[in-house]
């Protein structure tokens, strides 16, 4: 067989194969399983409900709450300033700019933490930065921030400070415990640093 015929045959065969297989439309994961394991063990993606409450009250401009529950649940109740990106549609292109960015700190939440964590895992594997999960989810938020329980008298001072803050936060956020806003609680942890996104280079080329 001549080179010409081999090449003709090769091209037509490869052409038939490529025409029959479905196109690869999956988004490639940027992080390997090992890298993910390290990240998950570090638990650096978690932010506490107290911190979130603090940022909401202080109207921190860099905070973006993202509700990953269904639109129905979102309609019924959602945190102040939250936007709704249900888990099922999180990969849609229209949300990409919001989830893959370097200006804001996205805090994902769901009722518990399962869905928010699932969302975070996917986003993280795609290489997106600055996404966090609210520890405990909305359930915990209601139990602690909106209806704080007074600690027992034997608790450490720290617990009382937390309680005071929560009561104050609860009132500021329209919850049950109505108490004058007291000390600016020292619960505020260091805010996670926002990682500047490397400018995604538009593919360059052409003459």
**Chain positions contacting other proteins, by CB under 8 A:** 3-4, 7-8, 11-12, 14-16, 18-24, 26, 28, 198, 201, 203-207
The CB-of-127 to other proteins minimum distance in angstroms stands at 10
| Alpha-helical regions (H) of 43-146 | 49-57, 71-76, 93-99, 114-125, 137-140
Cβ-contact 22, 159 below 8 angstroms: no
The CB-of-123 to other proteins minimum distance in angstroms stands at 17
Residue 90's Cα: distance from chain center in Å? 11
Nearer to other proteins, 11 or 114 (CB): 11
119 is written with which tokens? 């969302």
Nearer to other proteins, 7 or 83 (CB): 7
Q: What is the Cα–Cα distance from 51 to 41, expressed in whole angstroms?
A: 21
Nearer to other proteins, 59 or 201 (CB): 201
117: CB partners within 8 A, 6+ apart: 133
The CB-of-26 to other proteins minimum distance in angstroms stands at 8
Nearer to other proteins, 13 or 172 (CB): 13
The CB-of-27 to other proteins minimum distance in angstroms stands at 8
């Amino acid at each position: 067989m001549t080179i010409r015929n081999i090449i003709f045959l090769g091209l037509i065969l490869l052409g038939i194969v490529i025409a029959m297989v479905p196109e690869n439309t999956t988004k490639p994961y940027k992080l390997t399983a090992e890298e993910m394991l390290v990240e998950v063990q570090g638990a650096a993606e978690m932010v506490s409900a107290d911190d979130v409450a603090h940022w909401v009250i202080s109207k921190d401009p860099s905070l973006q709450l993202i509700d990953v529950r269904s639109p129905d649940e979102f309609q019924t109740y959602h945190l102040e300033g939250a936007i709704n990106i249900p888990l099922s549609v999180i990969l849609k292109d229209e949300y990409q700019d919001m989830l893959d960015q370097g200006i804001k700190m996205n805090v994902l939440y769901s009722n518990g933490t399962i869905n928010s964590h699932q969302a975070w895992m996917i986003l993280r594997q795609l290489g997106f930065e600055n996404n966090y999960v609210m520890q405990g989810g909305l359930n915990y938020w209601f139990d602690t921030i909106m209806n704080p329980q007074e600690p027992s008298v034997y608790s450490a001072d720290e617990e009382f400070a937390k309680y005071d803050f929560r009561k104050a936060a609860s009132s500021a956020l329209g919850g049950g415990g109505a108490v004058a806003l007291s000390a600016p609680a020292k619960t505020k942890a260091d805010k996670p640093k926002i990682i500047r996104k490397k400018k995604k280079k538009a593919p360059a080329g052409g003459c």
